[in-house]
Amino acid sequence: MTRSGSSPLHAYRGALVDFVADPHDQGDAACRFIDDGVLLVRDGRVERRGRADEVLPALPPGTEVTDHRGKLILPGFIDTHIHYAQTDMIGSYGEQLLAWLENYTFPTERAFDDPVHAREVARFFIKELLRNGTTTAMVFATVHRVSVDAIFEAAAAENLCLVAGKVMMDRNCPDFLRDSPASSYEDGVALIEQWHGKGRLHYAVTPRFAPTSTEEQLRVAQRLLDEHPGTFFQSHVAENPQEVGWVAELFPWSRSYLDVYDRFALLRERAVFAHCIHLDERDRERLAASGAAASFCATSNLFLGSGLFDPQRAADVGMRVGIGTDVGAGTSFSMLRTLDESYKVAQMGGHRLSPLRAFYLATLGGARSLYLDDSIGNFDPGKYADFVVLDPAATPLLERRMAHTEALADRLFLLMTLGDDRAVAATYIGGRRAHDRGALSA
């Protein structure tokens, strides 16, 4: 003990990279870079970030210093949209959204009524997040209550900050996955009481998407949120043109797909909508004004042939945006791979997604989307010491290409273009090493 009642300081040395808030989510967020830096951690939280030549001489004698020199230390990645129950169906061939749901997703999710199966997949899933440097995720479980217990238990075992919820789905789905307005209310209340605010866990009210909920069930979603302030909301919107047409038939009174959620007051702070591809200008402005966020799911949108999200227009209206891998429609758990594809999607729209903005979106942008930026997202004092150590020489090609690359933005761009889980040397949760690439390969 270095001070009575508090645990020892731990110092992590390396190149520190984080971002400060861009209140309007426009342009490049301000990047803070300390080439030879130290992150000081006490009791799982950041105590200070600073230059090594200033911080190290002032440390109490005996302070342990973990040396990550030659590597970049960034806030852990925040994946704002992913389905843990779809881990075993990643890379399913040949379909676009609606047939993909019918043929692959619903049969796969059926198995999550079995708690043993759910627990096994949940544990693998959390390990996979950590292997990829993801320290927080917003997660869809399935319609089964036990599937939610399984993912929260697995996250709690690693002290992960995780947002998750039970899928609500009372029509247009197989009987074996169908709940009802009444049962989804009861299950929602029970799960919120059991899990929301327990440690680092948060509950999200989770109607799958408008086509699989009756209006009565969307009203239940609203009620759960209103009766439990501080809970989250997640769903899908405007992903695929056939889906958009179907929503117009199912809700003939609606002005747009997004308007369906708006009618039930589901556009609000702490609400995250995956995809947001086929929106019009009015939708975009409404989404931004509501305080809800969009999750940009590039690999999924390409894999299912859904369309191209427009990160520039989202930024122009001041929309909160985070990055989502959307496994299992997404094809990688890696936020680096996902940033690579996000850059290409922006290119297809004639825009540049700068590396600084990309890494901002994957860290603080995600935290702001979830309204968790008071506790995660960068290295401000008091935040959880959730961080990822990236190795710029992780592969022969990265090492070779990096050799002639000095500027931070260029190095980050190569990491997102060429990097994947191999570039994640270590992942820390609350200052505890939860993944160590070296230990695995040793």
Residues in touch with Zn ion (CB under 5 A): 274, 326
CB of 82 to Zn ion, least distance (A): 7
Contact 159, 135 (CB under 8 A): no
Contact 357, 310 (CB under 8 A): no
CB of 290 to ligand GUN, least distance (A): 20
**Among 158, 239, 262, 421, which residue sits at the site for ligand GUN (rule: CB under 6 A)?**
239
CB of 236 to ligand GUN, least distance (A): 4
CB of 275 to Zn ion, least distance (A): 8
- The span from the first CA to the last CA of the chain, in angstroms, equals 33
How far apart (Å, rounded) are the C-alpha atoms in residues 14 and 106? 45
How far apart (Å, rounded) are the C-alpha atoms in residues 72 and 392? 8
**Among 104, 209, 257, 359, which residue sits at the site for ligand GUN (rule: CB under 6 A)?**
209
Give the three-class secondary structure for 431. coil
Nearest-CA neighbor of 325 among 141, 139, 191? 139
Q: Does 326 bind ligand GUN (CB under 6 A)?
A: yes
Q: Does 329 bind ligand GUN (CB under 6 A)?
A: yes
CB of 83 to ligand GUN, least distance (A): 5
**Among 49, 144, 145, 236, which residue sits at the site for ligand GUN (rule: CB under 6 A)?**
236
How far apart (Å, rounded) are the C-alpha atoms in residues 211 and 216? 13
Nearest-CA neighbor of 156 among 205, 202, 200, 203? 200
Angle at 159 between CA 155 and CA 164, to 5 degrees: 35
Closer residue to Zn ion in complex, CB, 232/413:
232
Closer residue to ligand GUN in complex, CB, 212/369:
212
CB of 174 to ligand GUN, least distance (A): 13
Closer residue to ligand GUN in complex, CB, 220/247:
247
Residue 4 burial (C-beta neighbours within 10 Å; 0-12, 13-18, 19+) = exposed
Size of residue set near ligand GUN by CB under 6 A: 11
Residue 291 burial (C-beta neighbours within 10 Å; 0-12, 13-18, 19+) = middle
How far apart (Å, rounded) are the C-alpha atoms in residues 144 and 150? 10
Q: Which residue is at the shortest CB distance from ligand GUN?
A: 329
Nearest-CA neighbor of 142 among 212, 247, 225? 212
Closer residue to ligand GUN in complex, CB, 76/328:
328
CB of 133 to Zn ion, least distance (A): 21
**Among 13, 200, 208, 368, which residue sits at the site for ligand GUN (rule: CB under 6 A)?**
208
How far apart (Å, rounded) are the C-alpha atoms in residues 118 and 154? 10
Closer residue to Zn ion in complex, CB, 66/212:
212
The residue to which tokens 């000095």 are assigned: 406
Q: Does 386 bind ligand GUN (CB under 6 A)?
A: no
CB of 84 to Zn ion, least distance (A): 11
What is the DSSP secondary-structure string of 197-229? TSTTEEEEEEE--GGGS-HHHHHHHHHHHHHST
Q: Does 83 bind ligand GUN (CB under 6 A)?
A: yes
Q: Which does 79 bind (CB under 5 to 8 A by kind): ligand GUN, Zn ion, none?
A: none
Query: Sign of the C-alpha dihedral, residues 264, 270, 271, 277?
Result: positive
Region 299-318 residues binding ligand GUN, contact defined as CB under 6 A: 300
Angle at 167 between CA 136 and CA 305, to 5 degrees: 75
Closer residue to ligand GUN in complex, CB, 154/277:
277
Closer residue to Zn ion in complex, CB, 208/383:
208
Q: Does 217 bind ligand GUN (CB under 6 A)?
A: no
Q: Does 134 bind ligand GUN (CB under 6 A)?
A: no
Closer residue to ligand GUN in complex, CB, 97/425:
97
Give the three-class secondary structure for 129. helix
Closer residue to ligand GUN in complex, CB, 154/177:
177
Closer residue to ligand GUN in complex, CB, 83/437:
83
CB of 209 to ligand GUN, least distance (A): 4
Options 97-105, 282-290, 379-387, 411-419: segment touching ligand GUN (CB under 6 A): 97-105
CB of 235 to ligand GUN, least distance (A): 8
Element containing residue 73 per DSSP (H, E): strand 64-75
Interface residue list for ligand GUN (CB under 6 A) = 83, 97, 101, 105, 208-209, 236, 239, 300, 326, 329
